[in-house]
Amino acid sequence: MRFSTRTRYGLRFLVRLAEQPKGVRLQLAQVAREENISPGYLEQIVRALKPLNILCAARGAGGGYTLAKSPEEINLEDIFLHLEGEIAPVSCLEKNKNCLRMGCCTTRTFWQKLDEHMRLFLHNITLQQFIDSEHHF
């Protein structure tokens, strides 16, 4: 069970944005340099976050990114969902895939519980917790 670099890098990018005072833009290339992440790769990752609508992008020279919401309104379940593709721990649980063993599988319910447990954990963590020393882990 392992999360990809996509999720790790993406999260670090978002934490960087969350650390910024409201309205202050950060450029992707700069974050990539500071975080030691390949700029081209980070661009792909950030693009995957687009449909989530938590990013404000300014194009052109002097552009950059800000968060479209405040950090406490952004939870990790959503972020992980967009970066990992799906969080489901086993392929049997993916939607649009109905497992043949569904009726008889002794382990299916377990995997569902694990999935729920994971989602709940991630749902209750917001970007705010990464920057707030009070709620820091």
Residues 115-134 that bind a copy of itself (CB under 8 A): 117-118, 121, 125, 129-131
* Contact flag: residue 4 with DNA (CB under 7 A): yes
Q: Which one of 34, 35, 58, 124 is in contact with DNA (CB under 7 A)?
A: 58
Contact 63, 25 (CB under 8 A): yes
* Contact flag: residue 96 with a copy of itself (CB under 8 A): no
Phi, psi at residue 37, to the nearest 5°?
-120, 140
Closest approach of Cβ 7 to a copy of itself, in Å?
8
Q: Which helix (H) or strand (E) holds 129?
A: helix 128-131
* Contact flag: residue 70 with a copy of itself (CB under 8 A): no
CA distance 14 to 67: 8
Residue ranges in 4-124 assigned as alpha helix (H):
5-19, 28-35, 39-49, 76-84, 108-123
Phi, psi at residue 54, to the nearest 5°?
-105, 0
Closest approach of Cβ 76 to DNA, in Å?
17
Cα 49 versus chain centre, distance = 7
Site mask, DNA, residues 27-56, x = CB under 7 A?
xxx--------x-xx-xx-xx--x------
Interface ranges with a copy of itself (CB under 8 A): 1-3, 8, 11-12, 15, 19, 36, 80, 84, 87-92, 101, 105-107, 109-110, 112-114, 117-118, 121, 125, 129-131, 136-137
